Amino acid sequence: MKFGGTSMGSAERMKIAADICRQQKATRPVVIVVSAMSKVTDLLINTLRHAEGGDKAGVETNIEALRKRHEDTCRELLPPAAQTEAMVGINALIAEFQRITGGVLMLGERPPRSVDEAIAMGERLSALLIAAFLDSTGIKAKAINAATVIVTDAVFGNATPLMDPTREKAQSILMPLLADDVLPVVTGFNGATADGRPTTLGRGGSDFSASILAAALDASELWIWTDVDGIMTADPRLVKDAVVLSEVTYSEAAELAYNGAKVLHPRTLAPLVQKEIPVWSKNSFNLAAPGTKIVTTISAPGGARAVTSMANVALVSVEPASAEISGTRVMARALDALSMVNAEVLTFSSSSYRQSFCFLVRKEELSAVTKCLEDGLSLELAHGYLKPIEVDENVGLLAIVGEGMRGAAGLAGRIFTAVSREKVNIIAIAQGSSELTINIVVRRDDVEKAVKAIHAECRMSELASF
Ligand code: ASP
Ligand code: MG
């Protein structure tokens, strides 16, 4: 089971999480993976920025806030007899963080491996606290730093697990604990390279940590505890009658996560698909809600089942200025440039005699993307073979997802009609050959209208309750 930041957000929440552990552990062996307490990772990252900028006072203020949050939680959570030892642990971890920020202050820069070591401190603190609490209630538990279990490549900040060595370590470190009736409390988010350099799996990566461990341990199920009732037909802040889907396939869940649904980290499902380990997305704030089950195949009716949207995106367009230039070659060069900066292309669309094409990237990646494109295509641009690269930041991406969309004739037509009825102009369209997802790009101001129209047209709330 994995508990997210809000599920670990206070002493009260940790007690609820611990109670869930107690109940489940009574029925079968359980390993838990925990996020940092809510907002703590942001605080850690912000502290490193202050340190890099030489702002010593800012660093100290943040570290005091970090200390207070965890010491207060410790006092509220643990019986007095257990507090002393936990406080020693908290202080040691904060001292470690302080040592790293001291180094960053001195250097005036943030070496990636030190960043990864530092920002995993939130998970180590929360793991320590909940493990101590479980222990104090008579459930044997042990906090484990995932750097000793999850082996990754050396892409700091966005590492990928190496499954074979991870499996070996998970088996040799965690299995004996389970055999001893100890509940392992593993930190989410982090790992280490084979030679021991600390890494992290990307923001929100604790879900991924949990699925890596579930696969490595051949778990029978993975439960992901969050603060929403499950995977929904749409963002309930945009669509009032959005409802929870009781079952979705791995592919649907992955498409939804990739296209902006916040409930799961996009990389979570990959390790589980082959072993067909089912995932439950559940709400630790609403234990009565059944949640969403993610499995290989479902019996739900056809059609489009959910619609997501993403606003922090930008549309980049490239257009040849002369017919002499090979469009394919320009595309190849552009994609090559994008891969150099590891940018993710969210949708790609091309169809024109003019060989123009456009694609969508995340706003955070935009400046790196435009720079690499301009470098990669500098000759063509300089000689006027290409028009200047255009960027439109005033757009949003919608994704309409459903296994049942495959081969459903007329569906795209209905979606476009529904959108156009709202006078929403569609800027770009993309559909992969799996027919699982239709992506449309609209003006930012039209996102909400389009989401509502599509949700209603495809009768998503009704379909979900079958
Ligand atoms: N604490 C990390 C983050 O905020 C990882 C996670 O919570 O999944 O990104
Ligand atoms: Mg999360």
For ligand 1, pick from 2, 34, 35 the residue to mutate: most ligand atoms within 8 Å of CB.
35
Report the residue count for the chain. 466
Question: Which tokens is 413 given?
Answer: 């037509």
Helices (H) and strands (E) in the chain, counts: 17, 17
Q: Provide the 3-class DSSP secondary structure of residue 45.
A: helix
Q: Which atom of ligand 1 is nearest to the CA of 201?
A: 5
Pairing relation of β-strands 247-249 and 279-283?
Answer: unpaired
Cβ of 5 below 6 Å from ligand 1: yes
Instruction: List Cβ neighbours of 170 (8 Å cut-off, separation of 6 or more).
Output: 149, 150, 213, 216, 217
Instruction: Tell me if the domain spanning 2-227 has CATH number 3.90.400.10.
Output: no
CATH topology agreement for domains 2-227 and 306-463: no
For ligand 1, pick from 2, 33, 41, 268 the residue to mutate: most ligand atoms within 8 Å of CB.
41
Question: Which tokens is 238 given?
Answer: 């945009």
Query: What is the rounded distance in angstroms from the CA atom of residue 304 to the CA atom of residue 307?
Result: 8
Cβ of 204 below 6 Å from ligand 1: yes
> Which CATH entry fits the domain spanning 306-463: 3.40.350.10, 3.30.2130.10, 3.30.300.30, 3.40.50.300?
3.30.2130.10
Cβ of 230 below 6 Å from ligand 1: no
Using CA positions, which residue lies closest to atom 8 of ligand 1? 204
- Taking the domains of the chain in order of start, what are their residue ranges? 2-227, 306-463
Q: Looking only at Cα atoms, what is the longest distance across the chain?
A: 79
The number of C-alpha atoms within 13 Å of 72 and in the hemisphere containing its C-beta is 10
Q: What does each of the 466 residues of the chain score in pLDDT, given as a tens digit? A: 999 999 999 999 999 999 999 999 999 999 999 999 999 999 999 999 999 999 999 999 999 999 999 999 999 999 999 999 999 999 999 999 999 999 999 999 999 989 999 999 999 999 999 999 999 999 999 999 999 999 999 999 999 999 999 999 999 999 999 999 999 999 999 999 999 999 999 999 999 999 999 999 999 999 999 999 999 999 999 999 999 999 999 999 999 999 988 889 989 999 999 999 999 999 999 999 999 999 999 886 678 999 999 999 999 999 998 877 888 888 999 999 998 888 889 999 987 777 899 999 999 999 999 999 999 999 999 999 999 999 999 999 999 999 988 888 889 999 999 999 999 999 999 987 778 999 999 999 999 999 999 999 999 999 887 6
Phi and psi for 31 in degrees, rounded to 5? -115, 135
CA angle in degrees (0–180, nearest 5) for 176-180-185? 75
Burial class (CB in 10 A: 0-12, 13-18, 19+), 68: exposed
Query: What is the rounded distance in angstroms from the CA atom of residue 289 to the CA atom of residue 157?
Result: 34
């050959």: which residue's tokens? 433
191 CB neighbour count, 10 Å cutoff? 31
